[in-house]
Each structure stands twice: as C-alpha cells, then as structure tokens.
C-alpha cells in the first residue's frame, strides 16, 4: 500500500495542480470534452433505447445524462472526489483508494480534480462514466465508446488488409527462414505493434492494397523516432539462446497487456499469430479491460468482435487470418483475460499487494508486453522522474516476469534516456513527450540485476 514512508526518494505524481503542465491541460480541457462527447453519444442513442426498452430506456438515458452533466460540473469546479455508489466488483477497491489518497492530503484538504494525481483523476472519470450507465438499468450494458472503436477499425481497412497479407506471406515461408531472417521478421512485427494506430495512417494513405503496401515499409522512416530500442533484449528473452521451433525446451508463454481496439489491436493479433506460428511462443495470453475505458481501450467484446469481423471480411488474406485467430482462441493457444485491476487507478508497483492473483498469473509468463501510454504511466507510477532515471528504478519493484513496454509517447513521463537526450529533444521540439511522434521499446528483466 502506498504511504508516506514508501514514497521517500520518489518524485511527486504528475498532477493538474501544476498549472500549465500537460496534466493540467488534460484535466482542464480534454476531460470535459470527452465527457461532452459521451453525453452526446448517449443522447444520440435515445431512439435505440426507446426501441429496445420503451419509455424505461428513455428515462434511463435522461438520468445518465443528468449524472454526467453533474460530473462534468464537479470536474470543472474542482469539487472533492466522491465515493462510488454502484455495486461493481471493484467499488470497494475504488473507495478504499479514495481513503488512501485522503490520508496523503493535509488535514483540511480533500482529494479533488485539480489537486490529486492526474492518473487517479483520469481513471476516476472513466469509472464514473461507467457508474452513470451501471446505475441506470435497462441501459446498463451500453458501451459509450463502441461506435468510435468500430469506426476506427473500418477506417483502417487498407492497413489491415496490408498487414494480414504480409502475415500470410510470412506464414507460407516460415519453415524456410534462417534464425537471422526469423529475428528480422520478429523485430519488424514488434515495431508494427509498437506504432499501432500511428502506422495505419502512413501505410494506407493512397497506397494500393497489394503485397507492396505492407506496413513494414513505413518502419524504416520511423526508426529514428524510437528513443530507446531494447528489441534485441526482447528477442534474447524469448529465445533464451535456443533456436526457435528447434529442439530444447517447449517454447514459453507471452502475455500481452492490450491498449487500443481498432487497428492497434489487429497489429497485436498479427504479432501474436507470428509468435505462435514461428514457434517463438507456445501460448499467448491477452489482458484487456473489463469495462469501456479511456475511449478506445480493448474490452472482451472488442476482442471477439475484431476476430469475427476479420474472419468475415471480403478479402482472402484478412478472412484467412481471422479464421486462424478464431482457431487459436478455440483450442486455447490464445486466452483472453480481464481483471478488475487494469481499470483501477493503482500504480503497477501496488499489484503484488492489491491484486496478488493477477501478479501470480503474470509470473507464469516468460515475457509480458505492455502496450501503450496508460500502461507505461502505471509502470512508472506516472511521476516526475528525471529522463535519465533507469526504467528498473521507476518500476519500483514491479517485476512479475521479464517485461517490455511498447509505447508511443503521449504523456509527460519518460525514463531510461541517455544523458542530454531529453534536453536536446526539448530544445528542438518542446512537445516531444506528448505528440505521439516518438516511441520506446523498453525492456526490464529481474535477471539483469542478479
């Protein structure tokens, strides 16, 4: 449990109390905008609710909108954080976390939107959005972000066709690859997964969907934007010095802690397919969110829908990929899990104490890949670390297994840089930490320090 004693020597949490910072601008501008869009989405579905549930559905829609309008006002006027009142499996955990935050405040202050850690407040907003739906049956299963996620998938069709075509080409020739060629393809698909939704725009823009327009063509141009590249360490962790698919120990388990649905999820599925078909992994476990989260995060429904949609596509290599993914799910080669901890505000260094079952599950993996910015913020506790601080220290003891963060930068935390690397980036490009243009492949293994 976080308390003042364990926080000695650890920098302060990023927070909206630091006026002018990205955290401040997010709480002031971005979060109210997201709430407004959610209100609009619920309102636009009024007729659907009426068709499905009659007048009861319309009343639920009105109550949810009233709840969210009040929430938006609380945010904008920096009101104290309120306890949750729904009956979610995580409600008690949230309310205990609020008490924990209260214990860190001065006596006459309460946790509030502009005074508390940004990570906590941002997660709290999404959990309150969920509360607004949960408290209002019969619309309590409605995903306010589903339409946006679906649209993102369909807008990326060319890119998805390109990457599935590339994958099927690889699978056809897999047995002829030398170890060096296999490593080359591994590094490419790791980078495609890294750039995720960044890649789709640059590869589908006006290109034909022939074999030539594969996502890997964009990678060479993006290489210089990877600030830390530990991909060879990731390869070594997976192969352990043994030839993939060869004799020796059966290949291990890779866990992927997912980020966005849409194109990024497809890049993750393609990478997972390659891991299995190449013999680099025996099994892949995916971890997604148990509720709609941070607009585009992957839920179980998104995961299943994406596989079904790809399988049903009117394109030979897309449908072939989707059918293969469905088989992996059916025969247990791929498993999907959603633990409530992923949608709590906790830093990952709290996981062993606060979600020991999840920590133990991750310990079963030979490698855990954490996708995206939110996971990186939680890995590093979303604190004001020096850029040269080591990734290991910022993890603060969180090391269930060898782990790797694949992250494009969209928030003000970045560790593990070379001396002066951060300063020269700031001088050249003040917004480098939040533009999404830069990325890291950062690896940590507890074996490294032993």
427-450 pLDDT, tens digit each: 999 999 999 899 999 999 975 433
Q: What is the pLDDT of residue 216?
A: 75
Q: Can you spell out the DSSP letters for 343-392?
A: GS---GGGHHHH-HHHHHHHHT-SEEEEEHHHHHHHHTTTB---TTS-HH
Residue 233 has, within 13 A of its CA and on its CB side, a CA count of 17
Among 312, 264, 253, residue whose Cα is nearest residue 288: 264
pLDDT score of 262 more than 80: yes
Q: What is the pLDDT of residue 250?
A: 54
Mean pLDDT (whole number) for 346-359:
98
Name 397's Cβ contacts closer than 8 Å, sequence gap at least 6. Answer: 349, 352
Q: Report the DSSP pairing between strands 283-287 and 253-257.
A: parallel
Q: Can you spell out the DSSP letters for 3-16?
A: -TTTTTTSPPBPBT
Which is more confident, 449 or 189? 189
Cβ count near 79 (within 10 Å): 15
Q: What is the pLDDT of residue 199?
A: 56
Q: What is the pLDDT of residue 198?
A: 73
Q: What is the pLDDT of residue 9?
A: 86
pLDDT score of 209 more than 70: no
pLDDT score of 341 more than 50: yes
Kindly state the percentage of the chain with pLDDT values over 90: 85
> Among the listed ranges 214-223, 406-415, 423-432, which one has the minimum average pLDDT value?
214-223
CA distance 132 to 180: 53
CA distance 18 to 115: 9
Mean pLDDT (whole number) for 36-61:
98
Contact 192, 141 (CB under 8 A): no
Q: Can you spell out the DSSP letters for 138-200?
A: TSTT--TTHHHHHHHHHHTHHHHHHHHHHHHHHHHHGGG--HHHHHHHHHHHHHHHHHHHHHH
pLDDT score of 104 more than 60: yes
pLDDT score of 28 more than 80: yes
Residue with tokens 């950062």: 442
Mean pLDDT (whole number) for 396-402:
97
Q: What is the pLDDT of residue 200?
A: 43
> What are the tokens at 360?
């133990």
Kindly state the percentage of the chain with pLDDT values over 70: 91
- Could you give the angle at the alpha carbon of 412 between the alpha carbons of 406 and 417, nearest 5°? 60
285-331 pLDDT, tens digit each: 999 999 999 999 999 999 999 999 999 999 999 999 999 999 999 99
Average pLDDT across the chain, whole number: 92
- Residue 312 per-residue DSSP state: T
CA distances from 348 to 51, 326, 369 (A): 43, 31, 14
Q: Quick one: angle between helices 300-311 and 146-155, nearest 10?
A: 30
Q: What is the pLDDT of residue 242?
A: 60
């Amino acid at each position: 449990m976080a308390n003042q004693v364990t926080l000695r020597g650890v920098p302060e949490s990023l927070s909206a109390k630091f006026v002018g910072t990205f955290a401040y601008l997010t709480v002031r501008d971005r979060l109210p905008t997201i709430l407004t869009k959610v209100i609009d989405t619920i309102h636009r579905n009024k007729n659907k609710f009426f068709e499905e549930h009659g007048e009861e559905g319309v009343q639920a829609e009105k109550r949810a909108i009233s709840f969210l309008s009040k929430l938006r006002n609380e945010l904008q006027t920096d009101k104290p954080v309120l306890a949750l009142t729904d009956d979610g499996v995580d409600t008690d955990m949230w309310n205990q976390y609020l008490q924990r935050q209260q214990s860190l405040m001065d006596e006459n202050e309460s946790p509030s939107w502009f005074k508390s850690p940004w990570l906590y407040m941002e997660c709290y907003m999404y959990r309150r959005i969920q509360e607004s739906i949960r408290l209002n049956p019969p619309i309590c299963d409605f995903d306010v972000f589903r339409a946006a996620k679906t649209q993102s998938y369909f807008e990326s069709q060319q890119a998805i066709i390109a990457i599935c075509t590339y994958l099927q080409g690889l699978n056809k020739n897999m047995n002829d690859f030398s170890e060096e060629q296999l490593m080359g393809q591994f590094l490419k698909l790791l980078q495609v997964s890294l750039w995720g939704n960044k890649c789709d725009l640059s590869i589908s823009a006006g290109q034909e969907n022939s074999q030539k327009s594969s996502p890997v063509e964009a990678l060479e141009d993006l290489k210089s934007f990877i600030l830390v590249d530990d991909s060879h360490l990731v390869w070594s962790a997976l192969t352990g010095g043994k030839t993939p698919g060869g004799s020796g120990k059966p290949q291990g388990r890779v866990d992927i802690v997912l980020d966005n649905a849409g194109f990024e999820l497809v890049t993750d599925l393609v990478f997972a397919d390659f891991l299995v078909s190449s013999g680099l992994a025996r099994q892949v476990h995916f971890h997604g969110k148990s509720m709609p989260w941070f607009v585009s995060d992957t839920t179980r429904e998104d995961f299943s829908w994406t596989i079904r949609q790809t399988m049903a596509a009117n394109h030979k290599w897309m449908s072939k990929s989707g059918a293969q993914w469905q088989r992996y799910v059916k025969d247990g080669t791929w498993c999907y899990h959603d633990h409530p901890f992923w949608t709590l505000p906790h830093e990952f260094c709290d996981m062993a104490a606060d979600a020991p079952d999840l920590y133990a599950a991750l310990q079963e993996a030979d490698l855990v890949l954490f996708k995206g910015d939110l996971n990186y913020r939680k890995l590093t506790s979303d604190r004001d670390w020096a850029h040269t601080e080591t990734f290991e220290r910022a993890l603060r003891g969180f090391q269930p297994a060898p782990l790797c963060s694949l992250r494009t930068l969209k928030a003000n935390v970045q560790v593990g840089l070379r001396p002066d690397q951060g300063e020269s980036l700031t001088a050249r490009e003040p917004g480098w930490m939040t533009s999404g243009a830069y990325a890291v492949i950062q690896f940590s293994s507890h074996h490294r320090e032993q």
